[in-house]
Structure 1
Amino acid sequence: MTPTIRHLLARMAAEPPHIADMSRRRFIRNAASFGLSVTAAAAMTRHLAAPALAQNVVLPEITSVPDKLKGSGVVRVCSYGGALQEAQRRAYFKPFEELTGIKVIEAEGPDIAKVKAMVDTGNIEYDVTEQEGASVLSLAAKGDYWEKIDYSFFDVDNIDAAFRHERHVDMLPYAQIFAYRKDAFRGKVPQNNKDLWDTSGFPGPRSLMGGGALSPDLEVALMADGVAPGQVYPMDVDRGLASLRRIKPQVVKWWGSGAQPAQLLADDEVVMATAWNGRIAAIQAAGAPVEIVWQDQLLRNDCWAILKGAPNRENAQKFTAFITMAAPQARLSSLITYGFVNNKAAELLPPERLRILPTSPDIKPKLINYNAAWWSANLDTVKTKWTSFLLG
């Protein structure tokens, strides 16, 4: 394997599942440029494929929309393609078209550098894009690249303030949690981050995030060290690393791919691991004796943002408002194991589905909101210190 391929695989592995799936498809399409066959490239990245959509699901109906969301013309939307965009198409792109009279023209492959270039040149190819919040904030710090979100179109009474930002609105909530094997502790049940660190009461090997291009589990480390959930940010990086150093002897794998901790748990190679909730839901569905601990874990999101000067910016506002309504949100959560940002969506989902979604009424109060702004400002510092930590 060449250094270039090794670097690309590490970078893809560090991405959330829906983004890694897009990067995987690009890698396979460009296999020949890396001296690989399509078959070899697909096999090499099989672990990065997004989980399949739920099958035989009856989606909540959307029978009407507020008049203020109706219109004409088009809106150009850029998302990540693959299984995610198929779910979005079924959940809300098509209903939006049918109920508002505004046609959705789809694009694939959000690219923050391309957004900057489009706005700088005025050659804007799409109006609204899915992005990571940190990317939106980072670009916003460089100039006026995003429209302000017009919340007069939105169902703000049912969307938490934490999900509403001046120039982007959160979407696609997922959780960074830890999970454990139910057969590992003779009936004892881990309850919180201190138990993840308690190698006497809950003995056995662990896997924590921090391999490849991924950052370490600093928030979890701080809470395990006694920091209250509401006081995690701004983070004391050195204290977090000191906490991680205490558990380091029990960490057999610093995972750098979302599939790794789930596989380690399923194969009984570790008894506990931090992970992304969707990956754990997949192995639970396959019968693995694994349970999630939600208490004091991290709620993360992607977001939607509208490009500054987008030619169809009013339709983009209407589109973004529509997809945050309860029924569209519930439809997407029916198809993939991501949560919803409209609280009323919970009323449209069955109890068995809510049990695995991070924004369900019983789970969301246990989570703390991931602070993308803090990470955007401090990532380089953390990376430098983390590299030294791993070498030490």
Structure 2
Amino acid sequence: MSDRSLTRRGVIGAFGAMALAQPSSVSAQSNERIVVASYGGRMQDSQRAAYFEPFAKETGIAVTDATGITLAKIRAMVASKNVEWDVFLATHEELVSLAEAGLLEKIDYGQLSKATMGEIDPRLVHEYGVGSQYYASVIAYNTRKYSKDNHPKSWSDVWNATKFPGPRILPAGSYQLRPIEPALLADGVPAEKLYPLDLERAYASLSKIRPNVIKWVSSGNAAPQALVDGEADIAIANHGRIAQLRDEGAPVDYVWDGAVVTGSFWAIPKGAKNYKNSLKFIEFASRADRQVDFATRMPYGPSNMKASEALPAKLVRDNPVAAENRSKVIFMDAHSWALKTGGKSVLERNIEMWNRWIRT
């Protein structure tokens, strides 16, 4: 099995070859049901409004949404043959790692709309998953502390507590927005030489900034909220939540310079009980109209290229793959995270290293 994303030609060829759960508020017209797992918070609220509820209304297939996605939980569900979810959201590197481990169902593109799948950015089309969105780890800051003219503009600035004093809040190494790439970039690794990842150097770099970090967080809301509350002045954060708060008038902003961009994928765990209906949901959530709806609620970058073209002008600035932003960002190499040494992927080794490092 190749862990590489399919090319557009490959997609067309495929067609030719033919936790805590919250029920949707829309009641379905049949007894059919799927369980979709995501990451909670404002993002899942937005998914519920843009995807889950409209899907149930249009198809009669009820959606129960769940949270609590971890690699360990997916492995345990598949190993025990007690798969609770039908569809879940995976980061690109998680998708590649899980596919390599045989823990996912292949996507039967022959059952999906050729037109809709042809609109998905080829970088987010994989034989074991369909891209849902682009998002980024960005340098975020409190605008009461730092002005638009004087704020951290690079990862080395974030690590420079003399030039830019103030408490920092960073993601935990085990969280989906890991601080590994920022740590290496801050330590002077050029973007073009970032991969393969040097985890030892990354943790040495994290040790340098550690005295200035007040909290290592494992949720998408924690770092942005800490900036709003004045608990921290500088953060590594999910760009979408920062953009939401900024637009609501909160004293926060971010920069695209050095942002680490990756994608999320809809995936189906091995042994899922409702494979065909899972595919129906993935196709629905891949439509341009649905992704524009989602982006108006949560400013991520659509995986559907027609949706990107249809975004209102005010949302383009928060699209990681918009032409005006692409030259400033770094695209994560998901396959480097899946590389194995001694039978363990970089992703797995990182979790082990993080657990040791944070206890020292």
Query: Using a 3 Å threshold, how does the CA distance of structure 1 residues 103 and 84 change in structure 2: closer, same or farther?
Result: farther
**Structure 2 Cα separation of the partners of residues 266 and 170 of structure 1:** 31
1:108 aligns with 2:85: no
Task: Pick the aligned partner of 1:339 from 293, 301, 320.
Answer: 301
SS in 1 for 2:105: coil
Cα gap change, 1:87/1:284 in structure 2, threshold over 3 Å: closer, same or farther?
A: closer
CA contact 1:173–1:300 (8 Å) conserved in 2: yes
Q: What letter matches 1:164 in structure 2?
A: V
Per-residue CA deviation, residues 83-142 of structure 1 (Å, 9 max, x unaligned), is: 76664465356766788xx54342333763576269x58xx887x512324554444334
Give the one of 164, 170, 175 matched to 1:208. 170
Deviation at 1:325, TM superposition (A): 2.8
Structure 1 residue aligned with 2:349, among 372, 375, 381? 381
Partner of 2:139: 178
Structure 1 residues 333 and 114 mapped into 2: Cα distance closer, same or farther (>3 Å)? farther
Q: What does 1:1-392 correspond to in 2, within 5 Å?
A: 23=20, 77-80=34-37, 87-88=46-47, 90-92=49-51, 103-109=60-66, 112=74, 116=78, 128-133=86-91, 136-143=95-102, 145-150=104-109, 153-155=114-116, 158-185=119-146, 187-210=149-172, 217-306=179-268, 316-317=278-279, 319-375=281-337, 377-392=345-360
Kept in 2, the 8 Å contact 1:299–1:370? The answer is yes
What's the secondary structure of 1:366's corresponding residue?
coil
Return the TM-score normalized by structure 1: 0.66
Q: Alpha-carbon deviation of 1:197?
A: 2.0
> How far apart, CA to CA, are the structure 2 residues paired with 1:85 and 1:255?
18
Return the offset for 1:273.
Answer: 0.9
Structure 2 stretches lacking a partner, 5+ long: 1-18, 23-29, 68-72, 339-344
In structure 2, do the counterparts of structure 1 residues 340 and 182 end up closer, same or farther at CA, with 3 Å as the change threshold? same
Q: Does the aligned pair in 1 maintain the 2:135–2:261 contact within 8 Å?
A: yes
- CA distance in 2 between partners of 1:117 and 1:257 (Å): 27
User: Within 2, Cα distance between the matches of 1:279 and 1:140?
Assistant: 29
**Letter of the 1:116 counterpart:** V
- When normalised by structure 2's length, the TM-score is 0.71
User: Cα gap change, 1:321/1:231 in structure 2, threshold over 3 Å: closer, same or farther?
Assistant: farther
With over 3 angstroms needed to count, the CA separation of the structure-2 counterparts of 1:90 and 1:108, relative to structure 1, is closer
**Which amino acid counterpart does residue 196 of structure 1 have in structure 2?**
V
Letter in structure 1 aligned against 2:136: A
Give the CA deviation at 1:217. Answer: 0.8
Give the partner amino acid of 2:302.
F
- Cα root mean square deviation, aligned: 3.9
User: Match for residue 341 of structure 2?
Assistant: none
Alignment check: 8 A CA contact 2:286 2:304 kept? yes
What is the CA deviation profile of residues 323-349 of structure 1, one whole-angstrom value per residue up to 9, with x for unaligned ones?
323222111112233331012213322
1:235 shift after superposition: 0.6
The verdict on how the C-alpha distance between 1:259 and 1:87 changes in structure 2, with shifts beyond 3 A counting, is closer
Question: 1:154–1:324: 8 Å Cα contact kept in structure 2?
Answer: no
Residues 324 and 241 (structure 1), Cα distance of their counterparts in 2 relative to 1, 3 Å cut: same
More helix by share: 1
State the 1:242 CA deviation: 2.0
Task: Identify unmatched segments of 5+ residues in structure 1.
Answer: 1-21, 27-72
Taking a change above 3 Å as real, the CA distance of residues 144 and 226 of structure 1, as seen in their structure-2 partners, is closer
| Alpha-carbon distance in 1 for matches of 2:120, 2:133 | 13
In structure 1, how many angstroms separate the alpha carbons of the residues matched to 2:289 and 2:320?
17
Task: Look up the SS of the partner of 1:263 in the other structure.
Answer: helix
Cα displacement (A) at 1:146: 0.6
Q: Counterparts of 1:84 and 1:169 in 2: how far apart (Å)?
A: 18
SS across alignment from 2:203: helix
In 1, distance between residues paired with 2:300 and 2:259? Answer: 15
**Aligned equivalents of 2:61, 2:130: Cα separation in 1:** 19
Which structure has the bigger radius of gyration? 1
Q: How many residues align?
A: 319
* Distance change (3 Å), C-alpha of 1:384 and 1:337: same
Measure, in 2, the Cα distance between the counterparts of 1:258 and 1:145: 25
Question: In 2 relative to 1, CA 310–260 (structure 1 residues): closer, same or farther, beyond 3 Å?
Answer: closer
CA contact (8 A) 1:153 1:321 kept: no
Mapped to 2, the partners of 1:80 and 1:312 lie a distance apart of: 14
Change (3 A) 1:162 1:305: same
Distance 1:385 1:192 in 2: 25
